[in-house]
């Protein structure tokens, strides 16, 4: 059962700002996407009707940043697309004609009233293919002439913005009536089919100094020249839809638009049916979150020739849209919510096997750069999150065979950490705790860096690293005993030592909560950082909590009192030096606030776990998630943002759709389902 469509009603003439601030996103399971504002005016360098993730040249490329849709009437022409310009002018009339925007499943739908003609527009991407389809239907009223003017770019999404008069593409019309574009810079071929076939008029146009408002506000380059090779003209009639299909490749045939929409409907219906098999009946919010999980699970198009360990299909998780690629830490944190809570067990297994093949020197990759195949490994926690993800997978599926297969890899991880590995990561032989320190690098999840400034270096022994390390050792001991491994007792013995050391080093009786880092390099505080941060919540939220039960209530209460908000946990308590209440401004200002107060919704999942461990599954646990339904109607329509301001009204920021935000709030929503009353 599909969730009730998310709706954004609209009255003509209202201030267009809410339409400009809300963004839609459709994806294709390859890392490619289409996305823009509900208003139809691009505000980010990443916005585009067609942004495929290509194998050659590698990476996501903004091929069609914009599509102007001009409706001709007896009184003039209305543009349902448009753009803003650096000088302050703006094109576009969508807000005058919009009646409703809604999200049906994962398909964005607009309804416009243009002088009595009710026109519906919808967009879908073909799953597993670099193809997008935009469809227009005349629901009622007189026929209208529709002119479609595509704008072409072709830069990789992280490349400099294009400020040139040179045409970005060569065009020709083939025997099937499709428009063929060949991007001049790198030879990428794109085919555009208009159905029913309309006349294409070559009429080059350059819109100079198009403004990307959000990039300007974020302190980046924010203007670009947009080039259009011409336009189509076609009659929009009752019962005769118009569709524009865009595909990468030299000779891609035109698929049937109705078949594309049916295939997407059937696909997401099947996803929800699969999710239903793993739990009780879902409410509308849960069904919406189940669908919000889908865009992140991908076979990256720029690495599609790779395979997972053991021959499974290659799978990964996009950390966030629009600019993140797959990150090891984010993938392992999000795996449970995105795949296990949704019944996608085969993909969970493929992801675990994929990343096992990338482990080097006992470390899981931190990230894959845009367009790159070589992983970067500067992370201390991603590897331990792998143990957590594997345990949750086995708990859900009972697939002990995967543990047996991966056990040598996991043992290698433990051995490398005991001996010491890259980036100053290793076990302190004196206490069994893990230290991590590398000058100029940020190794924990609090990884903001602006130039040479590592904002939260957290060098030494961070609290959540010890919690994850202890959890991994207990898991290894349990798996080892099941497999009859000789080293199981050794893992338990080391875990005992870690737990004793943790109790001695991290608990602050004076403050009533845990140190954030101990044995750091700062002599001013003896190397111990007592600032109140949310990282200590993992000491009681994981499967095997390292924190002694006698301290659970105190830690939970401190985090609740100073860090909890309706949308997540603050990254620093307001009374601490350096606290930043807002995440805004240019890159340096934002990075300075990223983990210095800014709220992260993914942390709410582990806070809920800790709450349930202390208080049980009562109604108060679900109340912690009260803001979720409303936020689904905000910036990333139908998804969950990356971060929020630390103070009310908690404005959202960062990515409009973040993997671990969706994953952890879905997981927490399922964990706090109201208990059903017994019958009779």
Best CATH choice for the domain 6-266 from the list 2.70.98, 2.60.40, 3.40.1350, 1.10.10? 2.70.98
The side-by-side arrangement of strands in the sheet containing 76-79 is 76-79, 66-73, 144-151, 223-236, 199-211, 84-85
Orientation of helix 328-335 relative to helix 382-397, angle to 10°? 30
Mean pLDDT for each 10-residue chunk of the chain (680 residues)? 91 90 97 97 98 91 96 92 96 95 97 96 96 97 96 93 90 81 86 90 95 96 96 95 91 84 97 81 93 95 56 83 94 98 96 94 88 81 98 97 97 98 96 94 92 93 98 98 95 98 97 97 86 98 98 98 98 97 94 96 98 92 95 96 97 97 97 68
pLDDT digits (tens, 9 = 90+) for 139-166: 999 999 999 999 999 899 999 999 998 8
Q: Where is 479: in which H helix or E strand?
A: helix 463-483
Determine the Cα–Cα distance for residues 223 and 240; give it in Å rounded to an integer.
Answer: 38
Report the relative pairing of strands 144-151 and 66-73 from DSSP bridges: antiparallel
pLDDT digits (tens, 9 = 90+) for 219-266: 999 999 999 999 999 999 999 999 999 999 866 667 899 999 999 999
Determine the Cα–Cα distance for residues 44 and 26; give it in Å rounded to an integer.
Answer: 16
Strand ranges for 33-168 from DSSP E: 33-37, 48-51, 53-54, 59-62, 66-73, 76-79, 84-85, 98-104, 107-114, 117-125, 131-140, 144-151, 155-156
pLDDT digits (tens, 9 = 90+) for 324-361: 999 999 999 999 999 999 999 999 999 999 999 999 99
Q: Residue 410 has which token pair? A: 């996991």
Q: Is 630 exposed, middle or buried (CB count within 10 Å of its CB: 0-12, 13-18, 19+)?
A: exposed
Determine the Cα–Cα distance for residues 564 and 576; give it in Å rounded to an integer.
Answer: 15
Domain boundaries, the chain: 6-266, 563-673
The three-state secondary structure class of 322 is coil
Determine the Cα–Cα distance for residues 244 and 249; give it in Å rounded to an integer.
Answer: 16
Q: Is 233 exposed, middle or buried (CB count within 10 Å of its CB: 0-12, 13-18, 19+)?
A: middle
DSSP string over 189-231? EEEEEEES--EEEEEEEEEEEEE-HHHHHTTS--EEEEEEEEE
Q: Which has the closest alpha carbon to 206: 183, 224, 228? A: 228
Determine the Cα–Cα distance for residues 334 and 7; give it in Å rounded to an integer.
Answer: 27
Q: Residue 273 has which token pair? A: 């049916």
Q: Residue 675 has which token pair? A: 């208990």
Q: Residue 18 has which token pair? A: 């809410």
């Amino acid at each position: 059962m599909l969730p009730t469509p998310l709706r954004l009603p609209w009255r003509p003439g209202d201030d267009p700002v809410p339409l400009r601030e809300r963004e839609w996103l459709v994806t294709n399971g390859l890392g490619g996407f289409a996305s823009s504002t509900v208003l139809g005016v691009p505000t980010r360098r990443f916005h585009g009707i067609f942004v495929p993730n290509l194998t050659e040249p590698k990476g996501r490329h903004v091929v069609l940043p914009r599509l102007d849709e001009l409706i001709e009437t007896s009184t003039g022409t209305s543009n349902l697309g448009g753009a803003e310009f650096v000088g302050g002018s703006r094109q576009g009339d969508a807000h005058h004609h919009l009646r409703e925007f809604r999200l049906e499943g994962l398909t964005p739908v607009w309804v416009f009233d243009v002088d009595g003609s009710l026109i519906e527009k919808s967009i879908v991407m073909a799953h597993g293919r670099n193809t997008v389809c935009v469809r227009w239907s005349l629901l009622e009223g007189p026929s209208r002439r529709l002119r479609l003017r595509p704008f072409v770019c072709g830069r990789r999404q992280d490349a400099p913005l294009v400020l040139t008069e040179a045409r970005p593409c060569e065009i020709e019309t083939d025997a099937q009536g499709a428009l063929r574009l060949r991007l001049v810079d790198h030879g990428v071929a794109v085919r555009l089919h208009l159905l029913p076939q309309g006349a294409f008029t070559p009429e080059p146009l350059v819109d100079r100094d198009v403004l990307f408002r959000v990039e300007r506000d974020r302190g980046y380059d924010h203007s670009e020249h947009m080039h259009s090779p011409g336009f189509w003209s076609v009659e929009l009639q009752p019962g005769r839809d118009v569709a524009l299909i865009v595909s990468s490749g030299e000779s891609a045939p035109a698929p049937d638009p109705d078949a594309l929409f049916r295939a997407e409907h059937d696909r997401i219906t099947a996803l929800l049916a699969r999710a239903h098999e793993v739990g009780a009946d879902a409410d509308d919010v849960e069904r919406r979150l189940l669908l919000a999980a889908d865009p992140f699970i991908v076979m990256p198009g720029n690495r599609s020739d790779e395979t997972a360990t053991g021959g499974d299909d290659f799978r990964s998780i996009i950390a966030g849209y629009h600019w993140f690629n797959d990150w090891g830490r984010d993938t392992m944190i999000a795996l449970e919510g995105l795949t296990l809570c949704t019944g996608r067990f085969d993909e969970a297994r493929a992801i675990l096997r994929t990343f096992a093949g990338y482990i080097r020197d006992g470390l899981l990759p931190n990230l894959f750069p845009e367009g790159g195949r070589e992983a970067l490994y500067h992370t201390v926690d991603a590897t331990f999150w792998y143990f957590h993800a594997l345990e949750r997978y086995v708990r859900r599926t009972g697939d002990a065979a995967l543990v047996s297969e991966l056990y040598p890899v996991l043992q290698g991880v433990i051995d490398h950490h005991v001996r010491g590995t890259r980036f100053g990561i290793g076990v302190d032989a004196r206490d069994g705790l893990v230290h991590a320190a590398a000058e100029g690098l940020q190794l924990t999840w609090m990884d903001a860096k602006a130039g040479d400034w590592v904002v939260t270096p957290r060098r030494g022994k961070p609290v959540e690293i010890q919690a994850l390390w202890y959890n991994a050792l207990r898991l290894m001991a349990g798996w080892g005993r099941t497999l009859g491994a000789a080293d199981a007792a050794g893992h338990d013995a080391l875990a005992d030592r870690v737990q004793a050391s943790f109790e001695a080093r991290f608990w602050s009786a004076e403050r009533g909560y845990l140190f954030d880092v101990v044995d750091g390099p700062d002599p001013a505080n003896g190397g111990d950082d007592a600032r109140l941060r949310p990282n200590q919540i993992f000491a009681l939220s994981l499967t095997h909590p390292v924190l002694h039960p006698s301290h659970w209530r105190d830690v939970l209460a401190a985090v609740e009192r100073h860090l909890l908000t309706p949308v997540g946990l603050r990254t620093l308590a307001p009374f601490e030096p350096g606290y930043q209440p807002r995440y805004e401004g240019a890159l340096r200002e934002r990075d300075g606030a990223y983990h210095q107060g800014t709220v992260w919704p993914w942390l709410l999942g582990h806070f809920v776990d800790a709450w349930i461990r202390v208080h049980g599954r009562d109604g108060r646990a679900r109340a912690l998630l009260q803001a979720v339904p409303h936020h689904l109607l905000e910036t990333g329509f139908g998804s969950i943002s990356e971060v929020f301001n630390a103070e009310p009204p908690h404005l959202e920021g960062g990515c409009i759709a973040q993997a671990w935000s969706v994953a952890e709030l879905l997981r927490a929503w399922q964990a706090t389902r109201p208990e059903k009353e017994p019958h009779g």
